[in-house]
Amino acid sequence: MDNRQLTTDNNRYNPLRPMLPAFFRKFPLFADLDDRELATIAAVAKTRRYGKDDVIFYADESGDIFCLIREGQVKVTMISPEGKEIILKILGPGDFFGEMALLDDEPRSATVVATEPLEIVTIWRHDFLQILQENFTLTRKLLAELSRRLRSASSRIESLATMDVYGRLARFFLDLARDQGKPLDSGYVAVTRPTHQAMANMIGTSRETVSRLIHDLMRQNLLISEGKTIYLKKTALDQFREEAT
């Protein structure tokens, strides 16, 4: 299915919504650009909206757009030969995706699905490559983020190959705290909690095992789970770090 058609259904495509250049400074990728450079991006960017469980694009499709998350969250997934979903990454506001297919002219490497109501800002391939060509600072930041993701993927592959399920969960919490944790004066770090099934799909185990391990950690007062937020005790993170090394 053509990407333009896919994202115009149900009025999800909203090219007329105005976006001031200063809006893009909220994204870490664009934070260091000057007003002229931001105006160039604002002139070609479009807004798209999706509902929960909507697919933004599928693996093996051709890729024509670069995506920035304005509101909401997505999961980046693959399906194993046995038909099981494997979650590679969960991305939220300020994160970007879809860049790989634009850079190497290969099909999409994974499927991206909205896990909650989602609004993204998109830039078409030609405009995206032109912006990179004219701005080395932006290109360097993009490469730095790609390198960070590659290191994270390598670490995850290592954990799947060498760690037991507790060690994999420990590393998952460490990565979650590093990427999105908010330190609190109470001695805890607050993070948004993925579902137990999502965590299981990321660390290669069952939802029941994740639920049991989290319950054990709660009994030890190493974490507190309230709604969609988990509060990780800083001393617990130190313990997880030992488990993950």
Same domain, 120 and 208: no
- pTM for this model (two decimals): 0.74
Please name the amino acid found at residue 172: F
Same domain, 194 and 100: no
The yes-or-no verdict on residue 209 having pLDDT over 60 is yes
Same domain, 173 and 113: no
Same domain, 109 and 7: yes
Secondary structure of 131-198 as H, E, C letters: HHHHCHHHHHHHHHHHHHHHHHHHHHHHHHHHCCHHHHHHHHHHHHHHHHCEECCCCEEEEECCCHHH
pLDDT attached to residue 164: 87
Same domain, 109 and 44: yes
Which residue range is the domain that position 231 belongs to? 163-243
Same domain, 30 and 106: yes
Same domain, 154 and 167: no
Same domain, 63 and 89: yes
Q: What residue has token string 């993701």? A: 149
Q: Is 39 in a helix, a strand, or coil?
A: helix
Same domain, 28 and 130: yes
Same domain, 130 and 58: yes
Same domain, 9 and 35: yes
pLDDT attached to residue 8: 41
Tell me the pLDDT tens digit for each residue of 153-183.
Answer: 887 777 777 788 888 888 888 888 888 889 9
Q: CATH number of the domain that 220 lies in?
A: 1.10.10.10
Same domain, 186 and 142: no
